[in-house]
């Protein structure tokens, strides 16, 4: 930055100290941590989520614009849309180990018993296609319908780009899927022949979701 730009940045910090610094710091730390390990990103993400859950008045257009100015590296301007997208992605960041851990927690099995495999399935009018299937290899658990509905609700929140979710119990062959594009869901227990159709459950919500939605609205202004 030139001397004038540095002085301008100082003025910005004086005017919007806490909010602007936090926004700029979250962005810069994410850029650094992303090149390191998942646990580094998770640490930054947890701090960012904590900030989002406190009403500090920081997520507003003025603070965002000021944070963008002091986050720029070099002479090229930093697009506001890129800045906001990074902050949104940081809030929603979920490594595979956390997803596997969530599945294990909900179905009450060790994380080592959960495997995410790419399998070919038939998706109705979409025909045969490859999808991710969470396969559970633990003879002690039982995939009930209530467990499946809770699991799909959580997975739909963590994996918003996945429009088809599927879980299978290796020992019993019990299988369930939720197809969010076709608004179709099925739980089937092969050993008893019992099955139940359902509407894909609504994705679960988190305390920081409202502020993330506010960030998205700023992005499209």
3-state secondary structure string across 128-164: EEEEEEEEECCCCCCCCHHHHHHHHHHHHHHCCCCCE
Measured in whole angstroms, the distance separating CA 181 from the mean position of its chain's CA atoms is: 19
Residue at which a domain ends, from 51, 76, 93:
93
SS3 69: helix
What band does 15 get if pLDDT is binned at 50, 70 and 90? low
Residue at which a domain ends, from 44, 68, 93:
93
SS3 186: strand
On whether both 100 and 89 belong to a single domain, the answer is no
Q: Is the pLDDT of residue 77 over 80?
A: no
Give the pLDDT of residue 150.
97
On whether both 102 and 131 belong to a single domain, the answer is yes
On whether both 58 and 143 belong to a single domain, the answer is no
Give the pLDDT of residue 54.
74
Mean pLDDT on 68-81 = 76
Q: What is the pLDDT of residues 178-188, one digit of tens each?
A: 999 999 999 99
Mean pLDDT of the chain: 86
Mean pLDDT on 119-125 = 86
* More confidently predicted of 73 and 205: 205
Say what the alpha-carbon torsion angle 185, 158, 174, 116 is, to the nearest 10 degrees. 130
On whether both 64 and 138 belong to a single domain, the answer is no
- Residue 213 resides in a domain: no
Burial 27-51 (b: 16+ CB within 10 A, else e): bbbbeebbeeebeebbebbeebbeb
On whether both 104 and 79 belong to a single domain, the answer is no
**Among the ranges 67-76, 174-183, 203-212, which has the highest mean pLDDT value?**
174-183
Give the pLDDT of residue 124.
79
Give the pLDDT of residue 34.
87
**Residue among 141, 80, 73 nearest 106 (CA):** 141
Mean pLDDT on 5-25 = 66
Residue at which a domain ends, from 61, 93, 125:
93
Range of the domain at 21: 3-93
Q: Is the pLDDT of residue 137 over 90?
A: yes
Q: Count CB-CB contacts under 10 A for residue 71.
A: 19
Give the pLDDT of residue 74.
64
On whether both 120 and 41 belong to a single domain, the answer is no
pTM above 0.85, yes or no: no
On whether both 84 and 137 belong to a single domain, the answer is no
Q: What is the pLDDT of residues 24-49, one digit of tens each?
A: 889 889 989 988 988 999 999 999 99
């Amino acid at each position: 930055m030139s001397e004038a730009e540095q002085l301008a940045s100082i003025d910005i910090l004086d005017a919007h100290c806490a909010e602007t610094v936090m926004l700029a710091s979250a962005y810069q730390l994410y850029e650094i941590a992303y090149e390191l390990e998942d646990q580094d990103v998770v640490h930054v993400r947890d701090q960012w989520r904590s900030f989002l859950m406190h009403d500090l008045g920081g997520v507003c257009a003025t603070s965002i614009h000021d944070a963008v100015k002091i986050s720029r590296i070099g002479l090229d301007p930093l697009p506001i849309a890129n800045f906001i997208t990074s902050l949104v992605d940081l809030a929603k960041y979920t490594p595979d180990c956390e997803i596997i851990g969530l599945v294990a927690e909900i179905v009450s099995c060790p994380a080592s018993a959960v495997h995410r495999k790419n399998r070919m399935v038939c998706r109705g009018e979409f025909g045969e296609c490859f999808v991710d299937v969470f396969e559970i290899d633990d003879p002690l658990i039982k995939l009930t319908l209530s467990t499946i509905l809770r699991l799909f609700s959580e997975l739909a929140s963590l994996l918003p780009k996945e429009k088809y979710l599927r879980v299978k119990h290796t020992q019993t062959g019990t299988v369930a899927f939720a197809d969010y594009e076709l608004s179709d869901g099925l739980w089937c227990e092969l050993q008893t022949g019992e099955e139940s159709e359902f509407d894909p459950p609504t994705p679960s919500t988190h305390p920081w979701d409202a502020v993330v939605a506010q960030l998205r609205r700023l992005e499209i202004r």
